[in-house]
Structures are given as structure tokens and as C-alpha cells.
Amino acid sequence: MNNVDMLYRIFYTVFSMSCMALVLLPAVLVLRFLFRGLSKKFRLALWAILFFRAVCPVGMSSPVCIYGAWNRQFHTLLRSLGLTITPDRGLLTGWRYVFEGEVTASVAYRACTLIWLAGAVLLLLVTAVKQLALARKLQRSSELLFDNIYQSGQIAYPVRTGLFHGRIYLPEGLLAKEMKEIVAYQRLRQKRGDDLWRRLAFLVCCIHWWNPGIWYAYYLLWRDQNLACDQAFAQHPGSGQQFHCAQVLVNMKQEKRQKLSLSLVTGYESDLFRRSEGLLYARRKPLWQSGIAAFILTVLVFAAFGLSTFRGGQTAGESAETLFDSNAVKQINNRVIARCETKTASGSAVTLELVVEKGTHRASSGYHGRCRLRLRNSQKETLAALELSEVFAGSATQDFRDDISLETVDYNEDGRMEVAVGQRSARKASDEAVSVTNSAVARQLKKQNTYEYYVIDIGEDKLTSVSPEIYVSDVTPLQEGSMVFSYVQGAGGVITVSDGEDTSYYVWNHKKSRYELKDLTDEQLEKRRAKYGTDSAQTQQYSLKADDGKEIMDVSVSAQSNGGLSINRIRINPKGLDQRAGTKTITNVEGYYYDLQWAQSDSEEQRYALLSYNGTAGRTFALYDVKKQRLCYQPAEGNEALQKVFKEYGADDIKFEKNGAVVYS
């Protein structure tokens, strides 16, 4: 971690704390008003909580986290300013995560950081120089009376310099009796440390110099300090009654004007007439009201510093969550969590939906409950439904991630589309599976994160499971609930699953209309290609390569009699298409191939691929996220798809009306 990155992290922390203090300020102002008749110590305690909140980057666990609902919106704002911390965790979740991940800062964010630092240093230097100049001028224009008490003709009211044993400067023209009482008052202020606490608050203002709420709090702190000292002086032994203290305050003010310019941290008296009137009309409040005020202050401390929800029996590291997660469990019913457009063998357009009939949703873990697949026509009428508890025998509930997607493929090349749905395997392979390919399947099952998939056939009015359990261990997060298998084109339905050492073949049995797990030799595979395949010379491939030369995406096309190149399928694997594991196949693109190239991106190069082709409505394009192995955007999908893209990347507040006009870049 270099010094510049550390500066970006510090500014991130300062900005976060400043926002927290700004959120706390309205509550402090309301309580300050309610405490107006009580001891001024309660008001000072309010400001102590606020200013400490503005510089304290850590919090404590509490039964309820009142800031959880604002966490996402707050860090979305930080993202819009141009700062990204990977992994995506934030200050409201845990301060240490800000200093653990990798930082990426935009030019605008870097500029803001430098402006903040320059402003803080400049304000501190200017104030220090001004205060030192004031002290020198007072020393030259004053004479010593006794101890550390001086008298100057340049001031109209008492002024203090220094911190612990500083000097007290009195204006000229005071009577001996007035001077004695005023000196006693000023020494009380030194004893209370009012100037020290005010200068510490000023340092906080320097850190948050751009925040007007902090400056307003600093001004009110100074006023409340004056009132608290007035109250303490009136109750001090030997000071007399309140009216006598009020007279002392009035005597501090001289008729002549102040000749010296004071700094923001100079200790001086002002607003003396209003303060004296306040003392004359002050009335003591019952003790029980002070007890209520103390209780409210305790609650305010927990509200200000209770940043994370308490979890019994867990350490801070174990309970850490990603920034945009919410641990709230929501009950859901009949919610569609994924859908895709496809077609039946007759060419009818249909929609395949994955539905949670009854279950729960947690942002950190996804969906859990009783699920089913549903097939609907263009009129939204249900054509078929399949309960997944019937597919995954012995499992009444299923689990799916938030970002699950369904994609259909015609694996057996019979004109009927199919979809593969999977779950984490909780059982051993069947005896039949082990007996047929003991080496390949057994190795898959021995691995910890093994998933079992079933291929579902999409008929005109029926959804049918047409495969035994297909075990896969090398699964990416996006493939956990549904994935596209690799298959041998032109072989009449041969799905291949590799464990890195051997390959398992799931072969379509045309008589039984079902896939079966079999051993296939190269000769048998060639015989199936000869029987079911087409002229391979008609097929071509266009690929996209990364900087290291690996092919990570390709488009397979077939030459047609009209000269066009019809798109058959798309394969994507960010680790390289030469690796069987993790390759995703997409087959629902209809059109004639034109071009495949990298799309320009401000964030990551070679992240998005642009496929140009002639579709049913003329020349169009599709944008693919190679890293996530999925379609990002397609103009024909309209504003609803664009809304989904914006929501995925955190811009939930942007709305696109259906069939409305949109201008975007």
C-alpha cells in the first residue's frame, strides 16, 4: 500500500465520518433545544458526542443497527464520486475493510482528495499564523498587572491566549472591584479548559472544513461553553447570586471598539448582554429532569456508535458482510426469480420462468424454498409447470442465487430446446452411475463442492426431466443454479462433462427419449456424427482473443445457400476455451454473423465483447460481459432490459418507463 492509496483511504474515512456527523446533527439540535432549561453540562455533552463521532472511525455492536438502511445508498454515492475498494465493503460495515482491499480512484476523486488535504492544511496554517500574530501584538501593547494578568488598550473585552497557563488580557478602564471579579471569571475558564476543548473542536473543523454542519456545531459549542461557564461562575463559592454574576458579565464590555483581529481559536468574551439576561431569568429545574436527560444522552451514544448489529458467538471477522448485503430475511410467495425467452419445436415463442412458490430471500445468500419451472405463452397463459422437488428427489426445497439466469440449448438437435437446472449435491451417485463410469463420476463426488444437474426438455405443453443426475464439480458461482453444458455438435445429442482427467458422456437415446450415461470411444463418437451430423465443412468459427493469446470467446456459424453466415452458438470462458471446465454456451441468438470485437470500456479493458449481426429487424448488436459470461445488453430488449442493467450496477434510483424514450451513452 503506497502513500497515495493511503491518502485516498483516509479521505474515504473522513468523508464517511463527516456524513455520519451530519446525520447526527439534527438529533443534537433537537435535544439541545429540549435541554435549554437544564444544566449546560448536558449541552456540552451533546457536542462532545457529535465531535467525537466526526473523528472516530470505529463503532460498537448493538442490538439494532439504525444505519443499515442507508449503507447501500451512501456507498453508491461514494462510487459515483469515483472510488472503488475491492472487495466491496464499507466503513459502516467495518472500518478495517477500508484499509485491506485494493483501491481504484478516478481523476475526479483524486482531485477531491487533494483539494480536501490542501484546504485542511491551509486553514490550519492560516489560523495558527493569525493566532501567533495576535499574541505578539498583545505582548507589545500590554503591561503586566500581576501573575499572568495583563492590561491592553487594544481590546474592548477580556482575551485569553495560550492553553494551560496562558495569559489573560483585560481592557483598560476597569475598576479594581470589577477587575477582581473578571479575573476570577477568566481563571475559572482556564480551570475548566474551555479554550483547550474549543481548539480540539477546531481541529475537527479543519478535517471537515467543507462541511457547513460541522462549522455550525462549532459556533453553537462556543455559545454553550460561554453559558456553561456563566452558570458555573454563578454557583461558585464566593461569587454571589445570579444577578451579581450578570453584573460581572456586563462590566467586561467596554464602549471602545476592538482594534485587534481575532482568530477562530482565540479565547474571548462576547454577546455579554444576552448572557447576563439569561442568568437573571434562569430557574432551577427538578432533579428528575436531569435524570431523564442523562438517560437520553446514553441512548444517543448507542445511536451514534452502534454501527453493526450484534451477533452472539461470532467474532468481527466471522460476522463481516459485503457492502451491499442485507441480512434481513424476507418471506416471498410466487416470485419469478429468472426467466428466458425461447421457442418450441413448432416455432412458437414461449417464456420459461423459474418461480419460488413459497420461501425466503436473503440478499447475502439468495433464495430458498419450494420452486418450480413454468412455461408461458405470449399471452401470459401457463402452458406447463414442473415442480423441482420431483426432479431433485428427496429435496422439497431448493436454493438459488440472486443472479441466476436460464438459458436454453438444443443439445440433441431435434428442434426442442432444453435447459439444465442444478443444486448442490447432498447424496452419493446411484449404483448405476458408479458401475458405468466409476473413475470419472466417483472423482466428481469426492470433491466438496459438487453439484448435480438435470436436463429439462421443453415441449409444446409439457416440461420433462430427460436425464439422470449429471455431476459437475468445477462450477462457477453463475453456473450453480443453471448452466450450459458442452456438447458434441452433429452427434445427435452427446453432452460432455470433464473432471480434468476423464470425460463423462451423456448420450441421447432416441428410442427412450432420454439421456443415458455411457462410455464412448472416439470411433463410436465419429459413427454418431456420421449418422446424425451435417456437413462439417459448412461450419466456421470466429474467435476473440485476450492479450495473452488465449481464445476466450468464439462464435460458430454455418454457411447458408443465400451466402449468409447463420449463428449457431456462442462460447465464453474467461480462463480460455481450451479448458473444458467453466465454458458457457449460448445458443439463442438468431441472425447472420457480421463482426466480433472488444467493446471500449472506461473501467476494464477486454471485459465486454460486441457481437454485430443482422437480426430479424435489420443490423443490430449484442453486448456480452465476458467476465460474468452473460448477455449484458441488446437494443431489441428495450427499456426494461436497460433498467435491469442499471440496477445490477447499483443505480436503483434510475427509472425507465416501458415503451418510453431513452437517451444513454
Q: What is the 3 state secondary structure string of 274-317? A: HHHHHHHCCCCCCHHHHHHHHHHHHHHHHHHHEEEECCCCCCCC
When mean pLDDT is compared over 10-24, 96-110, 112-126, the highest value belongs to: 112-126
Q: Residue 402: what pLDDT?
A: 83
- Which residues neighbour 115 within 8 Å (Cβ) at sequence distance 6 or greater? none
Q: Tell me: the pLDDT tens digits for 113-153?
A: 999 999 999 999 999 999 999 888 888 888 888 888 898 88
DSSP element (H, E) containing 442: helix 438-446
Q: Per-residue pLDDT averaged across 501-522, rounded?
A: 87
The amino acid at 635: P
Phi/psi for 581 (5° steps) reads: -70, 135
The amino acid at 398: Q
Q: How many residues does the chain have?
A: 665
Name the more confident of 280 and 336. 336
The pLDDT-based confidence of 174 (bands split at 50, 70, 90) is confident
Q: Is the pLDDT of residue 317 over 50?
A: no
Q: Residue 207: what pLDDT?
A: 94
Q: Is the pLDDT of residue 107 over 80?
A: yes
Name the more confident of 556 and 534. 556
Name the more confident of 337 and 293. 337
The amino acid at 502: D
In the numeric block, which cell numbers belong to residue 24?
A: 447526527
In the numeric block, which cell numbers belong to residue 558?
A: 454455418
The amino acid at 160: R
Q: Per-residue pLDDT averaged across 395-412, rounded?
A: 87
The amino acid at 350: V
Q: Per-residue pLDDT averaged across 465-489, rounded?
A: 86
Q: Is the pLDDT of residue 444 over 70?
A: no
Q: Is the peptide bond before 87 cis (omega within 30 degrees of 0)?
A: yes
| Count of C-beta atoms within a 10 Å radius of residue 596 | 18
- Which residues neighbour 295 within 8 Å (Cβ) at sequence distance 6 or greater? none
Q: What is the DSSP string of 94-132?
A: -GGGGGTSEEEE-HHHHHHHHHHHHHHHHHHHHHHHHHH
Does this model's pTM top 0.85? My answer is no
Contact of 219 with 132, CB cutoff 8 Å: no
- Across the chain, mean pLDDT equals 79
Q: What is the DSSP string of 574-613?
A: TT-TTSSTT-EEE----SEEEEEEEPP-SS-TT-EEEEEE
Contact of 214 with 54, CB cutoff 8 Å: yes
Q: Tell me: the pLDDT tens digits for 365-383?
A: 789 999 999 999 888 899 9
In the numeric block, which cell numbers belong to residue 46?
A: 451533546
Contact of 311 with 319, CB cutoff 8 Å: yes
Q: Tell me: the pLDDT tens digits for 58-94?
A: 765 545 555 555 655 666 666 667 777 665 554 445 5
The rounded distance, in Å, linking the Cα atoms of 32 and 43 is 6
From residue 571, how far is each of 285, 338, 432, 538, 629 by CA, in Å?
78, 21, 32, 19, 9
| Count of C-beta atoms within a 10 Å radius of residue 154 | 18
The three-state secondary structure class of 181 is helix
What's the first-to-final CA gap in the chain, in angstroms?
Answer: 34
Q: Is the pLDDT of residue 436 over 50?
A: no
| Count of C-beta atoms within a 10 Å radius of residue 501 | 8
The pLDDT-based confidence of 308 (bands split at 50, 70, 90) is very low
Q: Tell me: the pLDDT tens digits for 324-369?
A: 344 567 888 899 998 888 888 777 888 999 999 999 988 777 899 9
Q: What are 130-136's contacts with CB under 8 Å, separation 24+?
A: 130/261, 130/263, 131/161, 131/263, 131/265, 131/266, 134/161, 134/260, 134/261, 134/262, 134/263, 134/266, 135/161, 135/162
Contact of 375 with 384, CB cutoff 8 Å: yes
DSSP element (H, E) containing 362: strand 349-362
Q: Residue 295: what pLDDT?
A: 84
The rounded distance, in Å, linking the Cα atoms of 399 and 376 is 23
Angle at 331 between CA 330 and CA 337, to 5 degrees: 85
Q: Residue 202: what pLDDT?
A: 95
Q: Per-residue pLDDT averaged across 388-414, rounded?
A: 87
Q: What is the 3 state secondary structure string of 524-560? A: HHHHHHHHHCCCHHHEEEEEEECCCCCEEEEEEEEEC
Crossing angle between the packed helical segments 212-235 and 242-252, to the nearest 10 degrees: 120
Percent of the chain whose predicted confidence (pLDDT) is above 70:
75
Q: What share of the chain is helix, strand, coil (3-state, %, to 5)?
A: 35, 25, 35
Angle at 466 between CA 465 and CA 467, to 5 degrees: 105
Q: Could you identify the residue written with the cell 479575573?
A: 183
Q: Tell me: the pLDDT tens digits for 188-237?
A: 888 888 889 999 999 999 999 999 999 999 999 998 888 888 888 877 65
In the numeric block, which cell numbers belong to residue 378?
A: 405470449
Q: How far, rounded to the nearest angstrom, does the alpha carbon of residue 95 sit from its chain's CA centroid?
A: 14
Name the more confident of 653 and 539. 539
Q: What is the DSSP string of 9-66?
A: HHHHHHHHHHHHHHHHHHHHHHHHHHTTTS-HHHHHHHHHHHHHHTT----EEESS-T
The three-state secondary structure class of 594 is strand
The amino acid at 183: V
Q: Residue 548: what pLDDT?
A: 84
- By the 10 Å C-beta count (0-12 exposed, 13-18 middle, 19+ buried), 609 is classed as buried
Lowest mean pLDDT among 97-101, 318-322, 652-656: 318-322
| Count of C-beta atoms within a 10 Å radius of residue 90 | 20
- What is the per-residue burial (b if ≥16 Cβ within 10 Å, else e) of 17-31? bbbbbbbbbebbbeb
The rounded distance, in Å, linking the Cα atoms of 96 and 87 is 12
Q: Tell me: the pLDDT tens digits for 556-615?
A: 888 776 767 888 888 888 888 876 567 787 877 888 888 899 888 766 778 889 998 887
Q: Is the pLDDT of residue 488 over 70?
A: yes
| Count of C-beta atoms within a 10 Å radius of residue 636 | 11
The rounded distance, in Å, linking the Cα atoms of 43 and 227 is 10
- Which residues neighbour 661 within 8 Å (Cβ) at sequence distance 6 or greater? none
